[in-house]
């Protein structure tokens, strides 16, 4: 299996300002970006930048978009890994594939984004059917993280924080929780998305207690329905 098959091809550009964050997360992400912009200056004082970040929390709340925004802000290539493809590889190949991916990101000074990190970072004390293989994989990942260069960034995301091996968790200098948006945050997101559509289509029933991704899907489904209805009526 080659590296092209293991990576997700995604050229979408997202700005940090396009996303909604808690004050704490925005401050932490802004600091990370600033550190990497001034990496060489900080090295003169023997100050290491934070380049290992874990984003955890509910699905659809912006973890993948955040990784893309960091890469865009630093003008870095982002290497997005399809971990389901990685894990489904023949037993014994997984560690080798993981190393090849880390090597690629290091060579390119890229942002390496591993989604669903719990799939390859499960606790070595878990009751996984192949405990020996999992232990070897986690040991490999720990070594790769420890030697990951400062001028690249490792960003991992998980919806299952508590299943990840504690030794792996300690490797991340920054761990940011991504919570479900509250009503005010969703209203802001609704307002932003709806402004791209005609005013007379914007008066929709708003759903709450859903993620940002679910909100976007909901709006797009409604808008497509309304636009098609208008087109069909105009042809009568």
Q: Rounded to the nearest 5 degrees, what angle is found at the Cα of 175, between the Cα atoms of 104 and 115?
A: 45
Q: What is the pLDDT of residue 95?
A: 81
Stated length of the chain: 236
pLDDT tens digits along 33-67: 999 999 999 999 999 999 999 999 988 899 999 99
203 and 216 part of one domain: yes
Joined together, the tokens standing for residue 228 give 């098609």
Residue 114's pLDDT band, with cuts at 50, 70 and 90, is: very high
Q: What is the pLDDT of residue 129?
A: 53
Helix, strand, coil % in the chain, rounded to nearest 5: 50, 10, 35
Domain range spanning residue 145? 3-178
47 and 65 part of one domain: yes
Stated pTM of the model:
0.86
pLDDT tens digits along 154-175: 999 999 899 898 999 999 999 9
In this structure, what CATH number is given to the domain that contains residue 31? 3.40.50.300
Q: Please count the other Cβ atoms lying within 10 Å of the Cβ belonging to residue 176.
A: 22
The CA-atom distances, in angstroms, between 29 and each of 8, 84, 138, 181 are: 23, 27, 27, 18
Compute the mean pLDDT over every residue in the chain, rounded to the nearest whole number: 88
Please name the helix (run of DSSP H) or strand (run of DSSP E) that holds residue 170, with its range, or none. none
Share of the chain above pLDDT 70, in %: 86
Choosing from 145, 163, 178, the residue where a domain stops is 178
Q: Which of 175, 19, 6 is nearest to 79 (CA)?
A: 6
142 and 205 part of one domain: no
């Amino acid at each position: 299996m080659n590296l092209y098959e293991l990576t997700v091809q995604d050229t979408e550009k997202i700005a940090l300002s396009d996303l909604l964050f808690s004050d704490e997360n925005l401050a932490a992400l802004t600091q990370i970006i600033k550190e990497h912009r001034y990496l060489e200056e900080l090295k003169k004082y023997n100050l290491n930048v934070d380049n290992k970040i874990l984003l955890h929390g509910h699905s659809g709340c912006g973890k993948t978009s955040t990784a893309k925004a960091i890469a865009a802000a630093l003008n870095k290539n982002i290497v997005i890994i399809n971990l389901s493809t990685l894990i489904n590889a023949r037993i014994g190949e997984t560690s080798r594939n993981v190393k090849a991916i880390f090597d690629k990101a290091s060579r390119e000074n890229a942002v390496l984004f591993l989604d669903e990190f719990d799939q390859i970072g499960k606790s070595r004390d878990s009751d996984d059917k192949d405990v020996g293989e999992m232990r070897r994989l986690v040991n490999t990942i720990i070594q790769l993280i420890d030697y990951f260069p400062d001028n690249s960034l490792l960003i991992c995301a998980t919806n299952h924080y508590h299943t990840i091996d504690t030794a792996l968790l300690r490797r991340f200098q920054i761990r940011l929780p991504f919570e479900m948006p509250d009503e005010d945050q969703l209203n802001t997101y609704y307002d932003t998305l709806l402004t791209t559509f005609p005013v007379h289509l914007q008066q929709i029933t708003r759903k709450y207690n859903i993620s940002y991704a679910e909100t976007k899907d909901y709006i797009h489904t409604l808008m497509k329905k309304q636009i098609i209805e208008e087109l069909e009526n105009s042809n009568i």
